[in-house]
Structure 1
Amino acid sequence: MAEPVNPLEKLAGQVGNEIGVSSWITVDQAMIDQFAATTRDHQWIHVDVERARRESPFGATVAHGYLTLSLVAVMSYDIGAVPGDVGVTLNYGLDKVRFLSPVKAGSRVRMRSTLVSLEAKAPGQYLMKCSNIVEIENEPRPALIAETLALLIVA
């Protein structure tokens, strides 16, 4: 009888492959306003709908770049990026982030994630690096590209 494959070992075999594509998330004005309130970033291009319609080069309010970046975590959960035998997943940081296109209020975004590497850091601890592209529905350029790092601690 063959021994079952450890889910982390299976994940290690996926290096270089796309992990998955998330569901769409609508970035509406209410989400943008809540983010502005939380971060205290009330720049008019994000929160003043009428002024943005008149004066913004985008013709509408746009999400904060960091709001879009913050959605990477929930989209990672959506695609099941972390194996089930991992007890704790910690945000370890970012190697690279580029904000390429604004996300207009009311737009939908989703993420494509590719596993770049998985390396042992200590017994039961692994550093996972993913390349994430956050796409905007019906737009030719992505909102952002981010290389994320997560520390996986096996239960």
Structure 2
Amino acid sequence: MSITIGSLAELQQYEGQDLGTTPWHIITQGQINQFAAATLDFQWIHTDPQRAATESPFGGTIAHGYLTLSLLPYFWHQLVQVENLKMQVNYEISEFRFNQAVVVGSAVRLHAKLLAVKDLRGIAKANIGVTMEIEGQKKPAYTGVITFLYHFL
């Protein structure tokens, strides 16, 4: 179940709160290959299952770190619906660390917490702590802070 936010004041009510965890999403080789094509990053560790099975320390192909990062909007919209917007701007990514590779076929999900909300003359600056979990693993795929600017109507 997602949270619906329609104003700066409503967003501020969630400051310091856990926003939840998304359902699991399975990373497929097809998704990895499409990302490789879009970014022109065809490193064998991502795109060559046979070679990765024998030469990779992971026993198979792994998702690009930036592929897992690019899933943030997909996951974010499962947790929070922000309405009454002129626009939303991706402002900053900070304190980001890729902790563990995501092997093809792994299920991942996002956990988010609204760390801080600042009013910039009517524009909401929201700092969100994010953790991408990998099913069955203790270490997350990544942790970090993303910042969105929300221009409410």
Same fold by TM (over 0.5)?
yes
Q: TM-score, normalised by structure 2?
A: 0.92
Q: For 1:58-81, what per-residue CA distance to the aligned partner results, in whole angstroms no more than 9, with x for missing partners?
A: 00100000000110111001111x
Percent sequence identity over aligned pairs: 34
- 1:44 is matched with 44
SS of the residue aligned with 2:82?
Answer: coil
- Return the alpha-carbon distance in structure 2 between the equivalents of residues 44 and 65 of structure 1: 14
Tell me which amino acid in the other structure corresponds to 1:101. Q
- Return the alpha-carbon distance in structure 2 between the equivalents of residues 19 and 139 of structure 1: 22
CA apart distance, 1:122: 2.3
- 2:120 is matched with 121
Higher Cα radius of gyration: 1
Instruction: Work out whether residues 7 and 152 of structure 2, in 8 Å CA contact, stay in contact via their aligned partners in 1.
Output: no
SS of the residue aligned with 2:10?
Answer: helix
Please, which runs of 5 or more residues in structure 2 have no aligned partner? none
Q: For 1:73-95, what per-residue CA distance to the aligned partner results, in whole angstroms no more than 9, with x for missing partners?
A: 11001111x53233321111212
SS of the residue aligned with 2:108?
Answer: strand
- Return the alpha-carbon distance in structure 2 between the equivalents of residues 88 and 141 of structure 1: 35
Instruction: Work out whether residues 8 and 83 of structure 1, in 8 Å CA contact, stay in contact via their aligned partners in 2.
Output: no
- Return the alpha-carbon distance in structure 2 between the equivalents of residues 91 and 76 of structure 1: 12
Instruction: Work out whether residues 58 and 104 of structure 1, in 8 Å CA contact, stay in contact via their aligned partners in 2.
Output: yes
Q: TM-score, normalised by structure 1?
A: 0.91
Q: For 1:7-30, what per-residue CA distance to the aligned partner results, in whole angstroms no more than 9, with x for missing partners?
A: 432321221111121121111000
- 1:86 is matched with 85
- 2:100 is matched with 101
- 1:149 is matched with 147
Matched pairs, number = 149
Change (3 A) 1:45 1:6: closer
